[in-house]
Amino acid sequence: MDSVTDDFIIPQDWSSYSAVDHATWDRLFARQQAMLPGRVVPAFLKGLDVLRLSKPGIPDFAELSDRLMHATGWQVVAVPGLVPDDVFYEHLANRRFVAGRTIRRPDQLDYLEEPDVFHDVFGHVPLLTDPVFADYMQAYGEGGRRAASLGAIDKLARLYWYTVEFGLIRDGDATRIFGAGIVSSRSESVFALDDPSPNRIAFDLKRVMRTRYRIDDYQQTYFVIDSFDDLLRQTLDADFGPIYAELDAAEDLDVDRILPGDRLLTRGTQRHARARTAR
């Protein structure tokens, strides 16, 4: 991935954003900033601060990367949308986070077909200022190359989904959100913590890698890590090769399945999902 043509990186072209684009960012930012204290892991709020993300308007990736580079050696680069898995892994392994440059329309504040710059930057980048989380993301990229060579991308992708996108974390006696898909969504930042519908289960690596996920609605199960240290240790120390082989023989688990061995923090009513299906 050394050549400049196959890395999918494009200029952010910050000066081409309209006043409406910047105003959309500001509205989304204000909504989440009001919502998150007490719900999100403290490291996220610290990241907003370190990166000066409260400055109005869509962040300029060059400026953002300067601050992030200083904090943990990561950069943010613009790409045209979703990129191939191998490109994505290669960037992560080199501490480059790929982000979309476009922002949703003002009439779509809560509705997203594809990640936009608000999800990618507000959702993902603040935690990259946390040294342990930053190392986890790099390790994930390296793990991705390996998973690709072992035909196990689907299993590794579930780990990303249930941690980086939709993860919950213990904070003393409380549970907080940290996944980017949650922290960038006004309604899911409430649902994931407070709604009686979803299961909340203590993180277990193999269990997570067996669990399907849904991309069209709130999750029916969230997994709760103890700490970023614990997540990094569990994933870095484990040799995923034998785990992938073992899981090939195991059945995939449905999104609402509860196993006898699960450390269940909340047994969900699944009311939300049932109401959806019944429509």
The site map against ligand PHE for 236-265 (x = CB under 6 A) is: x-xxx-------------------------
How far is residue 23's CA from residue 26's CA, in Å, rounded to a whole number? 5
Distance of CA 173 to the CA centre of its chain: 23
Contact 78, 101 (CB under 8 A): yes
65-94: contacts with Fe ion (CB under 5 A): none
Query: Does residue 233 touch ligand PHE according to CB under 6 A?
Result: no
Binds 180, which of Fe ion, ligand PHE, none (CB < 5 to 8 A, cut-off by type)?
A: Fe ion
The closest residue (CB) to Fe ion is 180
Residues in the chain: 279
Name the residue nearer to Fe ion (CB basis): 17 or 97: 97
The span from the CA of 56 to the CA of 258, in Å, is: 44
Task: Starting at the earlier edge strand, list the strands of the sheet with 174-177.
Answer: 174-177, 168-171, 221-225, 199-202, 264-266
User: What does 235 bind: ligand PHE, Fe ion, none (CB cut-off 5 to 8 Å by kind)?
Assistant: ligand PHE
Task: Please answer whether residues 48 and 107 qualify as being in contact, where contact means their C-beta atoms are separated by less than 8 angstroms.
Answer: no
Q: Which of residues 48 and 180 has its CB atom nearest to Fe ion in the complex?
A: 180
Sign of CA dihedral 34, 36, 38, 41: negative
Gap between the Cα atoms of 267 and 261, Å rounded: 13
Tell me, residue by residue from 121 to 140, as one string, x for binding to ligand PHE by CB under 6 A and - for no binding.
Answer: ------------------xx
Q: What, of ligand PHE, Fe ion, none, does residue 139 touch, CB below 5 to 8 Å by kind?
A: ligand PHE
What is the rounded CA–CA span in Å between residue 163 and residue 179?
6
Q: Least CB distance from residue 36 to ligand PHE, whole Å?
A: 25
146 is in the binding site of which of Fe ion, ligand PHE, none (Cβ under 5 to 8 A by kind)?
ligand PHE
| Number of residues in contact with Fe ion under rule CB under 5 A | 1
Q: Which stretch binds ligand PHE (CB under 6 A): 52-60, 111-119, 230-238, 269-277?
A: 230-238
Query: Of ligand PHE, Fe ion, none, which one sits near residue 240, judging by CB under 5 to 8 A according to partner kind?
Result: ligand PHE
CB atoms within 10 A of CB 244: 19
177 part of the interface to Fe ion, by CB under 5 A: no
Burial of 211 (0-12, 13-18, 19+ CB in 10 A): buried
To the nearest 10°, the Cα dihedral for 49, 93, 112, 275?
-100
Residue 23 or residue 150: which is nearer to ligand PHE going by CB? Answer: 150
- The residue count for binding ligand PHE (CB under 6 A) is 9
Figure out which of the listed residues 77, 134, 180, 193 binds Fe ion, where binding follows CB under 5 A.
Answer: 180
The 3-state DSSP class for residue 215 equals coil
- Contacting residues toward Fe ion, per CB under 5 A: 180
- Contacting residues toward ligand PHE, per CB under 6 A: 139-140, 143, 146, 235-236, 238-240
